[in-house]
Structure 1
């Protein structure tokens, strides 16, 4: 509404894409019309509120009639909202009303006995602006909710759905219910910069599936399941809902127990936050993943446990990479992959930790007997425990030395050692395209095998260390392995009381013994072959 002088007017906004059509059929001077303003013929605000919706309806009907005479589609086109969309509309309407009601005056003018305030006896009170606004909100919400009933082919079921949607929206408007959208708009921004974008995307996938479940459970249709979930009050989600959602997820095709666990973990994490900020008394998702570990383990056995590469597989990969080095135009990623095949199993580093290597992360020792090392910094590490320094065996050092030698003379300290690995993906990581190219290379050499991937090089590193210790190595205990691979030690003695870092010589000796006593001679020989393009 707007006010001109002392009289209230209603202003109908024309959709931008229809300015020309409406301007033509209404005879606008410049050929376009952005809005239509009509008088409500009253100076009283409350009366204007009552008349507003009726006036807007008349304007819309008259405009659509004029468009129809010129054989033009109505303002809303042929689109009809689904039930779920109407419930989202109700929630947005209720949230707007909630703001207005919170700002409205709550004072109620008292009526005294015999109209004499000196008696002190109040016989009644006038309604406040907030009371009046609440009555108007009830009428407006019910008018919107009735659209659910009119769209239903089953009138009885439609009336029940409309009543439920109305009561939910009224609770939001009056402050007794809080839609998830209000809380999600606070929680998700807090995650930015602290977790990966991939994890945030996973949270959104969870919300979409949760919204799809809720709509189905309520007998509704929705084109935007995440928005439907966001329109649901947090107070309406109980332990029964959590249990039914898990059962619904487990019935979905191509959704394994690990993915079910991810979704339930998202809900549990969000509800813990909601408890901390005072919007949830209990967490219905606590314990929702019970029993999933056994199902995940069973699914892994059926699919095949992840494992390290065998010696034969490592030699096949190294041999094929060298062959492809001879045709760099046909296999542009062969050089990167060949370097990674020698770095990854001898350092235990993740693909992004290697792909993101820069000049300043290569540490050259001052003592000739010490090994070079690479630093895994906080910006590229997966966890806090992943921040570490890893010595380079001479085979791996040769790879890094060659990369450094090929850099331009005027290079900076932040120059990448693997410029081929351009950042990409949702988190803009250098390992994004390496992951894709290596997966293609792996399939072409060893075929489709879900048991092995790039991460299997870390499994090789762990296996080499354990094998070396079994063969008599003195510097390859489990604690040193955990430091080098970037895992938090499991035992209390190791993660609380033991030193977090040992002397460089401890790790240098571990790496040298790992390769000499844990890596087979055939694999060492294959890794030692130097090729040039």
Structure 2
């Protein structure tokens, strides 16, 4: 009955005012006696159990009202600076979550003790005990003049009953599990999504962008995020100038988060993000196809200009990247490998150095750096690349690191902390300086990969059987196009076949001018 007062047949919530503040409250309310010892407000019910349930909300409202009156009168609110340990946000949430888990394990069927005490079940009895604990603490806070009494009561009860789940409860567990299941790059993208959503949630509440959007998000309650907010989030992201593909990528982790929280019984509601990216994905696919039609392989003249360019001469901002730019353009053209696959190469990913499996060395794309499952592969290195690879290996092994990177200039960067991130920006600078800004949206580093595929096809048409489409797909790390290839054929091609494809591509598919440009780094090394 703490905090309740029967008046007639109706129960009232009763807020006791500390003795040292009774005169201040009397002044704030303007009562004739000058002193207010308590404030009461009806719970609107004559049923004791229902009154106990409503008591928390009414007391919180009363406390808020009293503090508002005091502030308006130029007087300090009831609270002081001291706060007990259990008022700490993390402690409060932890205790309430433990109470929620304990209640789930209890029966909601009445037993003999409940019938005697008047409770409906063991679960309702324990829930009432937790509520009494919170009310006792609220009374202590009020007596000590501590702030946040109403917020503490409502938040504790809400977490305990499952009607209020702070994002912090979900995020701590979800992120921990995600780190075990997905790559570091994916976790970084998750954090980017959370920052965007934290920003928008604050803005939608009229608070502006917070200094730390994730910290702001952590103290919000999932159940109190209106569906209209989730519905308008994609529109807000689009207004920030983001592409449909990027907007879809930002929303997807949020859908995964809600699915996980629902599966773990942390929240009961349906996932508001279901279907949120369907239209975006269609728009993104249309834009991708439109852009794909614009993007192409490098023309012969463009390749010659890039391969013979000296980044030291007039190409502002890229002079310190001369070596990696010069080396990686050649490796990309002769292997068809992706930007980050090459920038992240290590000593251990140079394979066949003993020559046991054939003529040529090779590079390995591991699962950690592969874009897709089919991207895990090994690609032979053409002899034209051996001066670069041998020089890079010597420098890497000289560091004494067990598996040193071959391109230490390519520092991790961007959301996914990929080594290709900063390099991509420097190549763009070089490409614009050499080919002009008119090359924007038409060619990029990925165009080396397109040129590789183009030269493969030309070599096959010229009679090099090993350069057929199925071999080119394997070397590029693409998904097999037929069920026969995917199910009934060996996963890895014979190394000798891959070697002949690489050699044949350069000899029969590559223009003579490009071959000459490739030779500027040194004479081809004889076969090993």
Shorter-chain TM-score bucket reads 0.5 to 0.7
TM-score, normalization by structure 2: 0.65
CA distance in 1, matches of 2:431, 2:471: 30
Q: Tell me: CA distance 1:238–1:344, structure 2 relative to 1, closer, same or farther (3 Å).
A: same
Deviation at residue 143 of structure 1 after TM alignment: 7.1
CA root-mean-square deviation: 4.7
CA distance in 2, matches of 1:444, 1:132: 73
2:380 to 382, 391, 408: 391
Deviation at residue 509 of structure 1 after TM alignment: 1.8
C-alpha contact (below 8 Å) 2:345/2:405 kept by paired residues: yes
1:98 corresponds to which residue?
A: 96
CA distance in 1, matches of 2:491, 2:502: 18
C-alpha contact (below 8 Å) 1:257/1:292 kept by paired residues: yes
1:209 to 164, 187, 196: 196
1:172 to 140, 159, 177: 159
Deviation at residue 389 of structure 1 after TM alignment: 1.1
2:300 corresponds to which residue?
A: 311
Q: Tell me: CA distance 1:395–1:199, structure 2 relative to 1, closer, same or farther (3 Å).
A: same
Per-residue CA shift, 1:497-532, capped at 9, x if unaligned?
321112112211221222233322221221122359
Alignment of structure 1 residues 75-224 onto 2, 5 Å? 95=93, 98=96, 122=116, 129-136=129-136, 144=148, 170-192=157-179, 194-219=181-206, 223=210, 224=212
C-alpha contact (below 8 Å) 1:90/1:144 kept by paired residues: no
Per-residue CA shift, 1:414-444, capped at 9, x if unaligned?
3544444455667665445433432332232
Alignment of structure 1 residues 83-482 onto 2, 5 Å? 95=93, 98=96, 122=116, 129-136=129-136, 144=148, 170-192=157-179, 194-219=181-206, 223=210, 224-236=212-224, 241-250=229-238, 252-279=239-266, 280=268, 282-299=270-287, 301=290, 305-321=294-310, 324=312, 331-362=319-350, 363-364=352-353, 366=355, 370-404=359-393, 414-422=403-411, 429-448=418-437, 449-482=440-473
CA distance in 2, matches of 1:177, 1:430: 41
How many residues in Structure 1 have an aligned counterpart in Structure 2? 423
Q: Tell me: CA distance 1:257–1:423, structure 2 relative to 1, closer, same or farther (3 Å).
A: closer
CA distance in 2, matches of 1:409, 1:205: 37
TM-score, normalization by structure 1: 0.65
Instruction: Name stretches of at least 5 consecutive residues in structure 1 with no aligned partner.
Output: 1-49, 66-73, 77-88, 106-119, 148-164
C-alpha contact (below 8 Å) 1:249/1:260 kept by paired residues: yes
Q: Tell me: CA distance 1:418–1:124, structure 2 relative to 1, closer, same or farther (3 Å).
A: closer
1:498 corresponds to which residue?
A: 489
CA distance in 2, matches of 1:376, 1:221: 44
CA distance in 2, matches of 1:290, 1:284: 13
CA distance in 1, matches of 2:486, 2:505: 23
Per-residue CA shift, 1:251-302, capped at 9, x if unaligned?
x232221221111211122223224323356333222211223422454547
Q: Tell me: CA distance 1:135–1:453, structure 2 relative to 1, closer, same or farther (3 Å).
A: same
CA distance in 2, matches of 1:298, 1:409: 49
Secondary structure of the corresponding residue to residue 389 of structure 1: strand
Q: Tell me: CA distance 1:344–1:103, structure 2 relative to 1, closer, same or farther (3 Å).
A: closer
Q: Tell me: CA distance 1:398–1:239, structure 2 relative to 1, closer, same or farther (3 Å).
A: same
Alignment of structure 1 residues 15-26 onto 2, 5 Å? none
C-alpha contact (below 8 Å) 1:239/1:285 kept by paired residues: no
Deviation at residue 391 of structure 1 after TM alignment: 0.8
Deviation at residue 343 of structure 1 after TM alignment: 0.8
C-alpha contact (below 8 Å) 2:134/2:156 kept by paired residues: no
